[in-house]
């Protein structure tokens, strides 16, 4: 049986990791996984590292990863972070059904935080017919991310086919809710105990989420890392990382923060439920997934 939700608490704040789907990034639609995830990694070292992670580098057909959204529930409010890809053909689009198993209906969601405007995080805003999935929601978006995608910058910065595709998703999903988007500042507390921090690089305004309650801390890294190997090699960037230097800087900053403060962390693209700890290891870090052997569905 596939596990679809996972409950955890940070102090007195309830959190739920909610499965949205699993995506296979296969060529020729996407670059080969080594290029897609580690485009600047030296070949020999990358191959060695992949083998340590039980991936045979010459026989790796594509990157297969889970998509996991986060729901944060305080006594007063429910906040959904990101909406997933919502593409049933790609084995995604399970967010609404899985929210219902928690007793949360789409019309009960009043606040959605958009970490960044990539398709796998925003395409769950609208249904295929253009109707809104969450009819009562307002959206929170970082100032820089909003500027980049909604004020014309993305069109010139992202050239070619990929740029067209990305901007198409923005037009279909963010334009219709433009009047319901609230801009947030770096470090702003969006609900009590929950704040967002700028972690640019993957996109120009990518943000991470910090929860603090009763001396417990949690860091949602979202897409700061796409694969656990990025902990060991934060300098290896993905083809979809917009700015490599900024990506590396943000990764180092938040990996150090998570490791130093021994925070529980979560990543959108890691194996469900995406939760684990970042441990210091020589010059870098290593990812330790929480004990979830019963979650393994592969």
Contact 116, 222 (CB under 8 A): yes
Site residues for Zn ion, window 152-191 (CB under 5 A)?
none
66 binds Zn ion (CB under 5 A): no
Residues in the interface with Zn ion (CB under 5 A) total 2
CB of 269 to Zn ion, least distance (A): 6
Question: Residue 169 or residue 295: which is nearer to Zn ion going by CB?
Answer: 169
| H/E segment holding residue 280 | strand 275-281
20 binds Zn ion (CB under 5 A): no
CB of 7 to Zn ion, least distance (A): 23
120 binds Zn ion (CB under 5 A): yes
Question: Residue 50 or residue 238: which is nearer to Zn ion going by CB?
Answer: 238
Question: Residue 145 or residue 223: which is nearer to Zn ion going by CB?
Answer: 223
Angle ∠(240,86,182) on CA atoms, nearest 5 = 75
Question: Residue 193 or residue 204: which is nearer to Zn ion going by CB?
Answer: 204
CB of 136 to Zn ion, least distance (A): 25
Which residues, in sequence order, are CB contacts of 71 under 8 Å at separation 6+?
15, 16, 18, 78, 79, 80, 81, 99, 102, 104
Distance CA 93, CA 115 (A): 18
Helix, coil or strand: residue 117:
coil
Site residues for Zn ion, window 210-229 (CB under 5 A)?
223
Chain-centroid distance, C-alpha 276: 14
CB of 225 to Zn ion, least distance (A): 11
Residues 70-109, mask of contacts with Zn ion (x by CB under 5 A) = ----------------------------------------
Choose the binding region for Zn ion from 80-88, 117-125, 177-185, 242-250 (rule: CB under 5 A): 117-125
CB of 202 to Zn ion, least distance (A): 8
Residue-by-residue DSSP string for 198-231: E--SSSTT-EEEEEEETTEEEEEEETS-SSTHHH
271 binds Zn ion (CB under 5 A): no
Distance CA 23, CA 37 (A): 14
Cβ atoms < 10 Å from Cβ of 131? 9
Q: Which residues bind Zn ion (CB under 5 A)?
A: 120, 223
């Amino acid at each position: 049986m596939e596990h679809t939700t996972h409950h955890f608490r940070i102090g007195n704040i309830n959190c739920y990791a909610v499965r949205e789907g699993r995506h296979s990034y296969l060529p020729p639609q996407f670059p080969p996984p080594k290029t897609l995830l580690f485009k600047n990694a030296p070949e020999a070292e990358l191959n060695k590292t992949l083998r340590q992670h039980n991936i045979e580098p010459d026989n790796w057909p594509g990157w297969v990863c889970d998509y996991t959204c986060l729901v944060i529930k305080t006594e007063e409010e429910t906040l959904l972070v990101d909406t997933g890809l919502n593409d049933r053909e790609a084995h995604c689009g399970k967010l609404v059904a899985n929210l219902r198993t928690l007793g949360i209906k789409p019309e009960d969601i009043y606040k959605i935080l958009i970490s960044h405007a990539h398709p796998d995080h925003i395409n769950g805003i609208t249904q295929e017919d253009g109707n809104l999935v969450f009819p009562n929601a307002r959206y929170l978006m970082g100032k820089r991310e909003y500027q980049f995608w909604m004020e014309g910058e993305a069109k010139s910065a992202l050239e070619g086919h990929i740029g067209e595709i990305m901007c198409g998703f923005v037009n279909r999903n963010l334009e219709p809710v433009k009047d319901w988007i609230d801009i947030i500042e770096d470090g702003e507390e969006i609900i009590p105990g929950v704040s967002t921090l700028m972690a640019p690089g993957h996109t120009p305004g990518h943000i991470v989420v910090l929860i603090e309650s009763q001396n417990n801390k949690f860091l949602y890294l979202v897409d700061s890392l796409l694969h656990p190997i990025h902990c060991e090699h934060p300098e290896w960037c993905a083809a979809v990382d917009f700015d490599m230097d900024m990506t590396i800087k943000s990764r180092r900053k938040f990996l150090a923060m998570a490791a130093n403060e021994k925070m529980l962390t979560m990543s959108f693209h890691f194996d469900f439920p995406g939760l684990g700890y970042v441990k210091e290891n020589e010059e870098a870090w290593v990812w330790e997934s929480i004990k979830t052997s019963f979650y393994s569905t592969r």
